[in-house]
Every structure is written in C-alpha cells, then in structure tokens.
Amino acid sequence: MNLLGHVDSLKSQTSIKFAAFIFISVASFYLGKHWSDGSRQLIFFSRQSPSGTTSSSPSIALSPNLNKEFNVSALIDTPEPPRSAKSEGTWASGSLKAPPPPPEFKIYGIIDENGTMSDKFEIGEFDTDLVENWDNGAEIEAETGKEDVRSTFRVKKFGFCGENMREYIPCLDNVEAIKRLKSTERGERFERHCPEKGKGLNCLVPAPKGYRPPIPWPRSRDEVWFNNVPHTRLVEDKGGQNWISRKGKDKFKFPGGGTQFIHGADQYLNQISKMVPDITFGHHIRVVLDVGCGVASFGAYLMSRNVITMSIAPKDVHENQIQFALERGVPAMAAAFATRRLLYPSQAFDLIHCSRCRINWTRDDGILLLEVNRMLRAGGYFAWAAQPVYKHEEALEEQWEEMLNLTTRLCWNLVKKEGYIAIWQKPLDNSCYLSREAGNSPPLCDQDDDPDNVWYVDLKACISRLPENGYGANVAPWPARLQIPPDRLQSIQIDSYIARKELFMAESKYWNEIVDSYVRALHWKKFQLRNVLDMRASFGGFAAAIIQNQLDAWVLNVVPISGPNTLPVIYDRGLIGVMHDWCEPFDTYPRTYDFLHAAGLFSIERKRCNMSTIMLEMDRILRPGGRVYIRDSLDVMDELEDIAKAMGWRPTLRDTSEGPHASYRILTCDKRHG
C-alpha cells in the first residue's frame, strides 16, 4: 500500500513538471517573437552536432522559421491607455516611457471654421496709406501659382520722358512750386522745392542725341564730348576768362582758368600757398569747399595735390556749370547760399574758397558768412578773391570795410591780404567769442542748437559754438586721418554695443576686404570708374577702401536722414559727403555718376517710400554704361530685380562671400539705355 502510494506520488510530480516545461516553452516562444523588431532572429542553443551526434560543447543554430513572417501582433491585444489624469501622472512619474508627440502639421493658406484650407475668404477694411503706392507710370501684374502660394510682382517696362527733360532736376526744376514762393529776393528759387509725393519722376530721362561714353580721367579734366553737354552759353559768356572753349565740333576744352585766375588754377594755388605757408595742400588742408565754382577748375587742379573739393553753384546762374564739372570728373553739387543751411555738417571744410562767387556776405547781419563759419573747421581758412579786396572805388571800399567789420566780430583773424586775395583764419575755440562785450552781435547760438542738423533747417544769425572738448579741431594730417578714428566718433548718436573705435576699425576692414575682392574678381580697374556715389555711407568705409585700393575715383558719401548722422566722421577722415533723404530726388544733373553703391539701403527705406521711386532716381543720375551694386537682404531682391529690368538695366544676382545660404545678396546692374 505504501509502495503504491509512493508510485502515484511520483507520477503526479512528473506530470506537473512536464506541464510546467510545456508552459514555459510556449511562453518563451511568444515572448521572443513579440519583442523581436523584425531584424533580429531567435537563436537556439543545442549540444547536437550537425551529424546528429551529441557534442560536449554547445553549438548555435538559427531558428528554422528564419525569413518566415507571422502576424503575432494581431494575436496580442494592446489597447491604447486611456488619456486620464491618472494615466498622465503615470507618464510623468517615469514608471512608463511617454509616447512621442504627434507630428506638427504645417498649414499654408486660409483656414476656414472646420480647420481646412480654403480659397474663399473676405478682405476687411484696410488703410490705403499702408499700401505701397505703385502708381508711377508702371503697371504691376500679380501672378499666383496654384502650387506656390507666394505672389511675385512684375513691373512693366518704363517709358522715356520727353526730350525737354534731358537735364531735369526734380527738386530744382519745380516751376509750379517756385511760382508759389512769397519771395525770391534771397535766392529761394535756387533751393529745393520737390514735387509732391506721387507726382515725382515716372519715366526714364533720355540722354541727348549723340551721347558718348565719357572721356576717362585724367584727360577729362581738360576736355569732354560736346554732345554730352551740348551748351555753348558758357563759351560765349566766359570764353575771355579762360574757363571753357570749343575744340572743333565735338569737344569742349578747359584751359584751367577762372574769373580771378585767368592765368590758370595752378599758378593761383601756388600764390595762396605762398601767402600763408600753413596752408599745406594735401597735408593739413585736405577737404575744401569752392563756392560759386564755375566749371570747377579750382577743385580739378587741387586733386593732383591730394585735396578733395566740394564744388557748388546754383543751378543755371551760368548755364550747366555743375554738369560740366561732373562731366570732367570733378566733385560738384547744385547748391545755393539762400535761406537754409547747406547739407554739410559743422567743421566740415579745412578751407572755404570764394572767387567772384557773387554772394553778398554781409547782408542780413552776415547770416551767409555765419553759415560759412558753421561749416569751417576750427582753425580753418576762408579765402576771398573779389573786387572789394583790391579795387579802390568808393562803393567797393565800403563793402570791404563792412566785410572787415563782420569778420572781426566773428573773431576771424585776417592772416594775409595780397593782390586780389584776402585770407582769414577761424579761431580754435570759443574763448574769443566769450570775451566779447555783452550784447555784441552776432550772438552765440543757443546751447541746444545742433550745428550738424541741416535737413530743411533755416539759416540762423548766430555763431555756432565749437565743442568745449575740442572735437573737430584736432584732426590728423592727410593721409593718416583716413584711418584714425576721429574724436567726433564719440558724439555720434548710435546704438553701439562695442567700443566705437573698434566699430569704426571693423567697418574699415570689412569694406577694404570687399572692395579688394571686387578689384580682383570683378576687374574694377578696367571699369574706368570716376564719379562714385555711396548711397548709405555710414563712416565712409567704402570710400576709404576705394582710396586704399588705388582706384582713380572719388566718392560722394551720402548719409540718409533715416539713420544716424555720421557726416562729421566722414569729413574728419578727409572725405566728402552730404545729408539726403532718398524718398526725394538728389540735387544733381542727369547722367553724372559712373557708379552707384547701395548697401542695406532698400531694406530700410522701403518702410518710408516706394522702392521704384528710388530706383528711377538712380537711373536719372547714372550715366549710360554706368554700374550699380546693391548689397541687401534677400526679401527685397526679387522686387529690385524686376524694377531694374523694367528700366532697361541688365541685372545679375550674386552671392556674397558668405556663400549661397547667407541672408544677403549682391544685385549688380548695368545701365545700357541712352
């Protein structure tokens, strides 16, 4: 009995062990298959050799189900856990790994109330003043592709203006505005009177018949093509004074003379240097203003002495003086001493020159000479060559006494009077002004008067104060001053996150590297650039790089009113420039610049005015055959390229040195139409 019970007990234990083995084997198979990712295979261990004999060392064999597919996942019920606060807490607690977030849906277009894209929608009310005004004579077509929801704009080709606009200067030829002036006795008609917004230039100013590419510098100093400036009045009026003469049928010749220096500008400049030995041209005297310049022979001959001269004259006092000057390749602008400040900063010029410039300096309490005083650098010189200096007629002697009295009250020192030239020097500081008797006129300007504020600012009958810290007076001699950060850099109102001197040096290095690459890669020295306009000049780094790379060109640096006024720094470097608003036309004749440079201009100014307005003005002042380099952000390039094509330019979009993924591009354009 005991034996039988023991046997039954053994059978029961064996059955349990066998059942457990079967259960564990099945469970292991399904678990292995479930956790396999499809790229792994179940691997079995065996002690049986391939020949069927038993081996003492185990061997490895692949599953016989290799490469066979089983839909095991269908047999396993894996419901998604409920999205409850409790379950979310379980993910957050880290007991289970959180599932990946659903993919982000990128939606383009107009979304309706059901969350789907629709092309049916309504436009609400909008402010028309915020919409860019394209009513400028060109029609715009909007093309919207079904696959690309971005709109592209194409500007139809601009037409040519009438032949009567060949020399049109919009702000100086506004006849209707000039007729409405209450008075013109102080020269108001020679000042800026721009067309109203939306009534400006909407066509391309044509060149005169027979226009030819200009004669290159330095030959152009002495002769230019007749057909480029086909006017003979100056030959008739000034031929006897050695200004200009006709050479055959196709050229004008410039002998280099002037009203007060008929024997030539070189001899005249030598005389000034001998009169005042401290006037060292190309050293301490680098930047000069020539008032009433004629055809700018004074400035033309100073160039060989490393002096750059801003030559100015009113439009049409003598026909096309400024146009002749620029055709020769000499810096010049149409400007007049009348009722407003000139567009140059305080302490800009080392010497200001007037030779028979037909200006009454003593009128209205000397307000015009006070404007000269504002622009003249501390310690700078004023040279006056006129009849009151040397003629002994009663009326002229009276004018001389008035001039002498006024300059004395301005604390100017009469350094030398010889022959028909008188030269004064401005003081270095305010000590003389402050030591005058109380009530002496003209008074010092108020402390809050900014002498560098010049855009549509009326003349003031007061003496502009010199900075107490001596800024502007102590500039280095040329050429060192080109690269030395000037003192007035500290007074410019800019947001600077690093030291200003370092910012100045970085800008200089930046433009020098770029211009150097232009010279090497784009062969700039073959372009015969002469008259260059930098439309957004900052500290003048581009102009300095032109000099550093020894290009035979001069640069007029334009500082837009929409940015900080950096003009004092530009002049302290020994360069020239002017304040301007590019939403208005520029004060120069058509076809007077060979090269226009605009860096970062359009991305700023498009917030204020129409980009096509600026481009049309660029076309007006650019010579046929001239070039334009626009360096700006990608978001303005498509539109600028379309406008360029509409004006008949040949545009090419180029990468910057930063490569194709940079946010900036360079649009280079050639003007081909005449």
Confidence of residue 42 (pLDDT cuts 50, 70, 90): very low
Give the Cα separation of 617 and 590 in Å (integer).
Answer: 9
Contacts of residue 457, defined as CB under 8 A and 6 or more positions apart, other chains included, come to 340, 341
Instruction: Report the percentage of the chain scoring pLDDT > 90.
Output: 66
Strands 151-155 and 140-144: antiparallel
Q: What is the pLDDT of residues 580-635, one digit of tens each?
A: 999 999 999 999 999 999 999 999 999 999 999 999 999 999 999 999 999 999 99
Alpha helices, DSSP H, located in 410-534: 431-434, 500-521
Give the Cα separation of 206 and 78 in Å (integer).
Answer: 81
Contacts of residue 289, defined as CB under 8 A and 6 or more positions apart, other chains included, come to 309, 310, 312, 344, 348, 349, 351, 352, 353, 375
CATH architecture for segment(s) 262-465: 3-Layer(aba) Sandwich (3.40)
pLDDT (average), residues 385-389: 96
Q: What CATH code would you report for 474-673?
A: 3.40.50.150
**Taking the model in full, what pTM does it have?**
0.78
Give the Cα separation of 152 and 142 in Å (integer).
Answer: 6
Q: Where are the domains of the chain?
A: 262-465, 474-673
Phi-psi region of 148 (alpha: psi -120 to 50; beta: other; left: phi over 0): beta
The closest alpha carbon to 645, from 654, 634, 653, belongs to 653
CB atoms within 10 A of CB 490: 13
Give the Cα separation of 557 and 249 in Å (integer).
Answer: 36
Opening angle at CA 307, ends 302 and 312, nearest 5:
70
Of 197-201, 347-351, 355-359, 608-612, the least confident = 197-201
Of 80-94, 159-173, 405-419, the least confident = 80-94
Confidence of residue 316 (pLDDT cuts 50, 70, 90): confident
Tokens read off for 423: 């030269």
Q: What is the pLDDT of residues 233-272, one digit of tens each?
A: 888 877 667 789 998 989 999 998 877 787 889 999 999 9
Give the Cα separation of 221 and 329 in Å (integer).
Answer: 7
Number of H helices, E strands in the chain: 17, 23
How far CA 602 is from CA of 151, 608, 634, in Å, comes to 20, 10, 11
Spell out the SS3 assignment of 82-137: CCCHHHHHHHHHCCCCCCCCCCCCCCCCEECCCCCEECCCCCCCCCHHHCCCCCCC
Phi and psi, residue 399, nearest 5°: -65, -35
Give the Cα separation of 87 and 179 in Å (integer).
Answer: 84
Opening angle at CA 283, ends 279 and 284, nearest 5:
55
Name residue 239's amino acid: G
Please check whether the two domains, 262-465 and 474-673, share a CATH topology: yes
Q: What is the pLDDT of residues 477-532, one digit of tens each?
A: 999 999 999 999 999 988 876 799 999 999 999 999 999 999 998 889 888 899 99
Confidence of residue 348 (pLDDT cuts 50, 70, 90): very high
